[in-house]
Amino acid sequence: MAKAKYTAIGGQALIEGILMRSPEKTALAVRTPDKSIDITYLESKSLRDKYKILRLPVIRGVIAFAESMIQGYKAMMMSAEKSGYTDIEDEEEKKQKTEEEKAKDKENMSKLVGAVGVVGAVLGVVLAVVLFMFLPRLAVKGIELLFSTEITSKVARSCIEQFIKLVVLVTYMWAVSLMPDIKRVFMYHGAEHKTIFCYEHGLPLTVENVRRERRFHPRCGTSFLILMILVSVIVSTLVQIIFPGVYSVMWLWVVAKILMVPFICGLGFELLRVCGKYDNLFTKIVSAPGLWLQRITTKEPADEMIEIAIASLRAVEPENPDVDRSIDKEAQSGDE
């Protein structure tokens, strides 16, 4: 009988590929234009390995989130290049160019993709502040004006703001899922989850076995976004109770919410770890919204996508896969 186990292995869907991380290794698997699978190992050292204080609960979540974002961005750029996604020239033009010209074009394209990524990141931050900071606060103000009343309940105000955030998030996810390229990324996302489930269930990593698994995983980044919104209700309410005058000044409240983000991020990370390790009524309730949203952010993958997911997981699989690699391994090693 197969031995089930929980692991710290997690991943990220990319352009025609998957980034997979384990406590020991980080690898990128991409389908190249010639249909082969390219495996690239990435630097897996974390600041948490160097400084013990960064392994403390909540703090480790902030560091993990930041490092994941940085590494994920680099991996996305690498997958775009390796998969040929950035190659927009036709075959005839490429044949007429020298190797030096091809190398120069490749360098220029990489710079262009990088520049577009930076601009996109900046615009994304600005858009996030507007949609997730200003808009919820304006919504509360609008409701007060519409009904000619003042919402004095701190819990009610927090719930309304977080509900607006949730609506914006779900609407955005649904809208981008309609784009063909994004849909393929979401299919790779589904392949990643199914493969991790197959590994956790102790089954051989074959396309047939992986295909039968569920695509909704409690440790997914999508669940993390939902958890951050739920945690925000509690943290925002507490801040309003401790500092009652902050909410009445819109710009000050927006600044306060920005400052809350690292703490909320850290708490959400801890909840995600608990949901990934335990299976009980509490974790099922906490995980439910995130698992529901994964119906949008994950799609059923094609077999060739499952092959990529299997290759990426095998690349980072611990040397002794029969050992229970619990998600608390990190914390245990930090106490040694």
For the chain, the residue count is 336
Confidence of residue 304 (pLDDT cuts 50, 70, 90): very high
Lowest mean per-residue pLDDT among 45-49, 238-242, 293-297: 45-49
**For residues 153-167, average pLDDT:** 82
Q: What percent of the chain has pLDDT over 70?
A: 79
Confidence of residue 86 (pLDDT cuts 50, 70, 90): low
Mean pLDDT of the chain: 78
8 versus 2: which is more confidently predicted? Answer: 8
Q: What is the pLDDT of residue 111?
A: 52
Going by C-alpha positions, the residue among 123, 140, 92, 125 that lies closest to residue 247 is: 140
How many CB atoms neighbour CB 308 within 10 A?
Answer: 27
Lowest mean per-residue pLDDT among 15-19, 70-74, 119-123: 119-123
Q: Say which residues have a Cβ less than 8 Å from residue 81's Cβ, sequence separation at least 6.
A: 106, 109, 110, 113
Confidence of residue 330 (pLDDT cuts 50, 70, 90): very low
Q: Are 195 and 310 in contact (CB under 8 A)?
A: yes
pLDDT at 110 over 60: no
- Specify the pTM: 0.74
pLDDT at 310 over 70: yes
